[in-house]
Amino acid sequence: MSLAVVLPAAGSGSRIASKMPKQYLKFENKELIAYTLEAFEQHPMVTEIIVAASKDYFPVLNRIKKRYDISKLKTIVEGGKERQDSVYNALASLRLQSGDYVAVHDAARPLISKAVLTLAFKTAKAKGNAVVCVQGRDTLLRAGKDCFEYVDREDIFYVQTPQIFIYENLFEAMKKAQDAGLKFPDESSLMHHYGFRIEIVEGSLLNFKVTTPSDVAILKEILKK
């Protein structure tokens, strides 16, 4: 049974006001995406890695692969305009067997732990899928022009990655969405739309996505230590 990991990495990094996409910024003299790749390279359950990226960064990724000996990085495909397009292109490049699994993980979540990934994969094998989430911790307030109310955080989860599904289930659902012109923020919302029950797995606050300048500063401090 195979577990392929798809890393959508075609984002521009506009929210951190960087000329270079955030996944290629260096932290402690190592590219952010290199940390993410190493996390999956070192996990015994992972059989291959596919990155969907801008063609301009194919040479960078190949240098990273060589420098850090990322032997499981088998394929680099061209990413699309949106995350869903990038994931679809990566899935279409895979040659998996019936019953194999695919995990989609944000390239800009470099601190995914072995323990979280192991739990997610074991859950997916037992229940068909697994989506890593963190339960809401802070007081939550919904405030707008016509509303002001506090929300019960017991039923609130922050969705992270990896999100793991049986390959053929995810690919078929994604093909339906692409054909229908439907766009979803992530794979779990897409699969839920097509009738799949989503299995929640406990994640980690360290498994945050580097999105804003504050996230960059936090990651720098963590890696220094």
- At 105-120, the pLDDT tens digits run 999 999 999 999 999 9
- In this prediction, residue 202 carries a pLDDT of 96
Domain hosting residue 52, numbered range: 3-224
- In this prediction, residue 1 carries a pLDDT of 82
- In this prediction, residue 13 carries a pLDDT of 61
| φ, ψ (nearest 5 deg) of residue 78 | -75, 130
- In this prediction, residue 225 carries a pLDDT of 82
Q: What angle do CA 124, 128, 132 make, to 5 degrees?
A: 40
Which residues of the chain are under the pLDDT cut of 50?
A: none
- In this prediction, residue 16 carries a pLDDT of 61
User: What's the CATH code of the domain at 170?
Assistant: 3.90.550.10
- In this prediction, residue 117 carries a pLDDT of 96
Classify residue 27 by burial, with Cβ atoms within 10 Å: 0-12, 13-18, 19+: middle
Cβ neighbours of 44 (radius 10 Å): 8
The answer to whether residues 177 and 110 touch, using CB atoms and an 8 Å cutoff, is no
Distance of CA 42 to the CA centre of its chain: 17
The identity of residue 170, as a single letter, is L
Crossing angle between the packed helical segments 32-41 and 114-127, to the nearest 10 degrees: 60
- In this prediction, residue 17 carries a pLDDT of 59
- In this prediction, residue 19 carries a pLDDT of 73
Kindly report the pTM of this predicted structure.
0.94
Instruction: Specify the number of domains making up the chain.
Output: 1
| Nearest-angstrom CA–CA distance, 50 and 128 | 21
The identity of residue 5, as a single letter, is V
